[in-house]
Each structure stands twice: as C-alpha cells, then as structure tokens.
Amino acid sequence: MTKKPVYPVVTLKAGREDSLRRGHPWLFSGALARIPEGLDPGEVVTVASASGDALALGFYNPQTDIAIRILTRDGQAVIDAAFWRERLQSALALRHRVVPADTTGYRLVNAEGDGVPGLVVDRYDRWLVLSLATAGMDRFREDWVRILEEALAPDGIYERSEGAARRREGLSDRSGVLAGAALPEVVPIAENGFSFAVDIAAGQKTGFFLDQRPNRELSGRLAAGAGCMLNAFAYSGGFSVYGIRGGAGRVVSVDISERATALAKRNLALNGLSEETHPVLTADVFKYLRETDETFDLIVLDPPAFARGRKDLARAARGYKDINLQAMRRLTAGGLLLTFSCSNPLDQELFEKIVLGAARDAGRTARVLQRLGPGGDHPTDLGHPEGRYLKGLLLCL
C-alpha cells in the first residue's frame, strides 16, 4: 500500500484565510506567517490557518508575489496522477456540454477555472497543445502527457510554454512535440461549420483565438445588412470569415504581421471566399485608421495585449483610447463597434472608462448593447476576477 505523502505546512497569518474561504485561488506572500526552510519552487504544500487547521493544498513558489496557487480545499488530498486524471474528466464533461458538436477547436483545460492552476490545454482536432505557466505544474509535465494520451489518444501533443508568466516563476520558455507524430505546417479545425487552418508552432497564443468563438458568432449575426465591415488586428481572419458569411457586402481585414495576413488569406480561401471583394491588408492598424477615408458599418477591434503587468497600465490605457478613438471616427452613424481588451491587469471598469473617454473625444454617443467575454470552454471561478482576462463591449454609436 502506497504511503500517503506528508506535505510541508505553510501557516497563514491570523485572519488571512478569508480570501481562501471566499474561493480565491491565490495566496500572496504577505498572507504567510510561517514557511518551512528549504522549500523548492513549485513544491506542493499544506496551507494551514493560524490555529493549525489544514485548509488546502497548493503549489508554493517564493519567487513570485503569488506565493501559493490553490489546488484543492481538501487538506487531506494527494496530488498525483489520479488527482489530475479526475480534474481532466471533469473538464471533459463540461466541454461536452458547452462546445458545439461541429466545433473541433476549443480550450480543454483552463487553468484555475478547471482547478488546475498553471495549465492550459487547447484542442485542435486531433492535436493537443499544452501550456505550462508555473513551477508547480512544470513538475507534472510527464504525468499530463500520459493522462492526455490515455484519455484522448491524440495524433500528437505539442508544448507551447512561453511568456512572462513563466519568467516570473523562474522558468525558461519551452516548445516542441511532447508525444505523437511530427507536427504538420497547419492543423485544420472546424468551428460552427467554418474551416480554419491553425499554425500551432508559430501562431499567436497556441495558434488560434479560441476564446473569441462566441464573439465571432455574434459578429456574423451583426454583419447581416452591413455594407462594409472592418476586422482590425485580424490575425488569421476568423471574424472576417464570419462577417462575410453573415452577409457583409465588403470586409476589410488588417494586420501588421505578414504571417498573419497570409493565414487570413488561406482561411478565406478555405471557406470559398474571395480576396478581390474582401481585401486582406498587411498594415499598421493605427496608421491605417488615421489614413483611410473609408467608413464602416461594423468594426471589430481585437488588439493584442497592451499591458502585461500593472506597470504597463498607463501606456496601455493610452493605446486603447487611441485605437478606439480612431475606430469611432470611421464608424457610420448608427454603426456597431465590437471592441476588446485581453490585457489581464486592465479590468472591465477601467476598460469601459477608457472607451467612454474615446467616445467623448470622438464626439460620439456610445450605447452599450452587450458586455462580452470568452465562451464556456474558458471557465473562471466567480471569486477569481483576475482570471477574466478577455473583456469586450458591443457598442452602437
């Protein structure tokens, strides 16, 4: 019989367990009273109250402000392959309920939202992309590869563990095939009856903006009757395909990346659509909006993250205000604007203040028709607002 592991105990300061009891999955370094010596980054620890009650288990890392990421509020649990397997089965069951049957690209595991902090798994048809963001989850890489192979038998598993979050955890970037066949140049996926080519190895994020699926659907409905639509920061043309098929007379797609616009052209062709009617332009969106004399009935603004940390907020706010201001100046009277921010440090309230400021400077009245976010395959805990990185607005001006 395997002996149950005894995890090192980290004790909280008196009264600092309140956020944990409210469901927040992070504990910051200032909440900790006693920490055993010699703990390694990513080690599993027991979180105890000041009175000694075992409250939770979590990953500990002394190198980050987020000192502990909660794994379970069962202080007697064991963190092993069986624990992760159960988490995966719960995540799979949810996706079967919320992902359309004709869609083969979606988020399979969404970090804290699925009780697996530091892990994202995206599914692109028969391929899985694994992203590990924390020192704790890095220790379980091999376990997750085995579990995913057992549960889903994919053609392959590709790792894209990159970015500032890993560096804050003291980790270097990693990418490459972890299991299965050689990765093809692009992986085709289906989404709501449309086809898209996904560049897993070199595309943005893990290859496709899976979180925007419900907003792409919305753009298709809004495009009905639109004379001209602009997809700004178009990347691989997802919003453009929906807009054209939705009925827009002309859709202009703009992105600064030649690789992105090549992929957008490929995706238009995959869906039987012509660039002659719906041009794809490689250009700086800020410059394009300032210089074009064309007006649009529908504009989609989906820029990259302008803020990676709180220190970037002031600069990001200026960027978001400027791009929204320029877009509003190119909207027809009664035109619709779908505007987004994926900057984690910038919350919904601040985003709306920025967009309101842009509307005032543009001399336009903006009415909120809908507040937007990702689909159900990107769950977040209600008590974890930091997990809701994607925020958006549907405005009528």
Write out the catalytic residue numbers.
Answer: 342
| Helix 238-246 and helix 258-270, axial crossing angle in degrees, nearest 10 | 40
Q: Which residues pair with 45 in a beta bridge?
A: 58
Q: How many Å apart are CA 259 and CA 89, to the nearest integer?
A: 36
Quick check: helix, strand or coil at residue 169? coil
Quick check: helix, strand or coil at residue 389? coil
Tokens 């963001």 belong to: 133
Q: Which residues pair with 245 in a beta bridge?
A: none
Question: What DSSP string runs through 17-36?
Answer: THHHHTT--EEEGGGEEE--
By CB atoms closer than 10 A (0-12, 13-18, 19+), residue 335 is buried
Count CB atoms within 10 A of the CB of residue 268: 22
Q: ∠ at Cα 395 (212, 217), nearest 5°? A: 30
Tokens 């529908």 belong to: 298
